[in-house]
Amino acid sequence: MVVGYKQIAEANEAIRTTVIEKKNKKTGEVTKKDYAEVFQKIKAFRMLFPMGSITTEHQFIGDGVVMFKAFVKDDEGNLLGTGTAYEKEGSSFINETSYIENCETSAVGRALSMCGIGIDLGVASYEEVANAMLNQEKPAAKTKKVEKVQAEVVKETPKEKKEKEMIPGYPDKDEMIRVIKKHYPDGSEYQKKLIENARVTNPDIEKVEDMTEAQMAAVYNKFGGR
């Protein structure tokens, strides 16, 4: 089936939105606007492409900052859209503990928007706007860490990127899986909840081994490798 504008419009109509209120600091005027949460965009995408794929890859992780790129493909594997996101650890409440997962989710939301999913409400998803509003309360100046990350991304060659198979500072997947299962045993409610959270970005995740390296690293980091 060829998916066209009509089918995309119908899928977008099924998206439930969340309202965000913004207050103008100068005038005090409060405006309200609807935004789509990323999981709603994923649901709409699955309505259009049941066998399609949403994948992510980390562009950079280190020094408390992370960059992700997401790729959205249709049922035949054709690339429909990409999205990139950046997050800094501790820059908002959710980023205090989950800045890697938050960044991955934001990248997925932007990639889906590029495909026309939820685009009637704007490119930014609810999570991005809410996070941006929280960040407005903090200094907006660039830190040396941000400048360092940008420099690293710019100077990284395709060969270096290909050779970088694992997240810097973390062990291989087998070791991260061992630590994760130690704290979230197979069959436990804790592991079920962990998998449920991981499936926000990829509904195909069924077990710990299916999680992305970034998701594993985020959990591994909580326990310091123990």
If you search the block for the tokens 């990248």, which residue do you land on?
A: 107
The predicted structure's pLDDT at residue 164: 45
pTM: 0.55
The two structure tokens encoding residue 72: 């959205």
| Percentage of the chain lying above the pLDDT 90 cut | 22
Cα–Cα distances (Å) from 55 to 24, 141, 212, in that order, read 37, 32, 9
- Which amino acid type is present at position 167? I
- 102 within 8 A of 94, measured Cβ to Cβ: yes
Question: Which long-range contacts (C-beta less than 8 Å, at least 24 apart) are formed by 150-159?
Answer: 152/60, 153/59, 153/60, 153/67
Closest CA to 18 of 38, 47, 44: 38
Q: What is the mean pLDDT of residues 192-200?
A: 80
Number of DSSP helices (H) and strands (E) in the chain, helices first? 9, 5
pLDDT in tens, 63-118: 889 999 999 999 999 999 999 999 888 877 677 878 899 899 999 999 999 988 88
pLDDT tens digits along 136-168 = 555 544 445 555 555 555 555 554 444 444 444
The rounded distance, in Å, linking the Cα atoms of 177 and 186 is 11
Q: Name the pLDDT band for 34 (thresholds 50, 70, 90).
A: confident
How many Cα atoms sit within 13 Å of 101 on the Cβ side?
A: 23
How confident is the prediction for the chain on average, in pLDDT? 78
